[in-house]
Amino acid sequence: LAFDDKLDGANGGYLSGARDSTINVWARSGHFLRTLRSHKGLVNAMAVRQNEGKNGESRVASGSSDGCLRIWDHHSSRCVRTLQAHHQAVTSVVWGPGPSSVITGSTDCSVKLWNTRTGQQVRSWDGHAGTVTQVLADGGRAYSSSRDGTVRIWGVPAATGAAGAADATAESGP
């Protein structure tokens, strides 16, 4: 589930991933607007970034069990980029700290940084021993949590527009 305040004029709206490989777009009022079709598996994760398109419109990054990362112009129902991001399911997606960067997590236990304009993988981080359940980005760092009970902190390369940071690991729990 993701919220976009630029959907349906100034009213905003929601995007919901579905088991049938689609993303449904809803007005804040609950009115159905459209369906995005392109994934070949369950849509597990979505994130909205404002002012990413040519005219400053928002974009949606989505990840699914087909291992793909897709970038959408959801205002026109168009998939603008498809990346085979992982060999297994994409479980988490977040827009990164740099322009046009997306970070993905997967059941393959890896975290990856992507340049959505070029379609190139910028960096891959391995170190989790379980499915990556969540990824976050803040400044020059990416954070990932995993079913292995750890949270890892990854340095994002300066080329993505954010200052780099050292990689670190923290155990989660009480």
> From CA 171, how far away is CA 169, in angstroms rounded?
7
Sign of the four-CA dihedral 17, 20, 21, 27: negative
Q: Is the dihedral of CA 95, 97, 98, 103 positive or negative?
A: negative
pLDDT band at 169 (very low <50, low <70, confident <90, very high): low
Q: How far apart are CA 110 and CA 86, in angstroms?
A: 8
DSSP SS3 for 158: helix
Q: What is the pLDDT of residues 50-109, one digit of tens each?
A: 875 566 678 999 999 999 999 999 888 999 999 999 999 999 999 998 778 999 999 999
CB within 8 A of 46, min separation 6: which ones? 1, 2, 15, 17, 23, 60, 61, 62, 63, 93
DSSP 8-state class, residue 160: G
Phi, psi of 60, deg, nearest 5 = -120, 135
Alpha helices in the chain (DSSP H): none
- What's the predicted TM-score (pTM) here? 0.88
**Residue 7 confidence (pLDDT):** 84
Phi-psi region of 28 (alpha: psi -120 to 50; beta: other; left: phi over 0): alpha
Q: What pLDDT, in 10s, does the model give residues 123-165?
A: 999 999 999 999 999 988 999 999 999 999 999 886 554 444 4
pLDDT bin (cut points 50, 70, 90) of residue 174 is: very low
In Å, what is the CA distance from 60 to each residue of 23, 63, 90? 10, 10, 15
Sign of CA dihedral 36, 38, 44, 48: negative
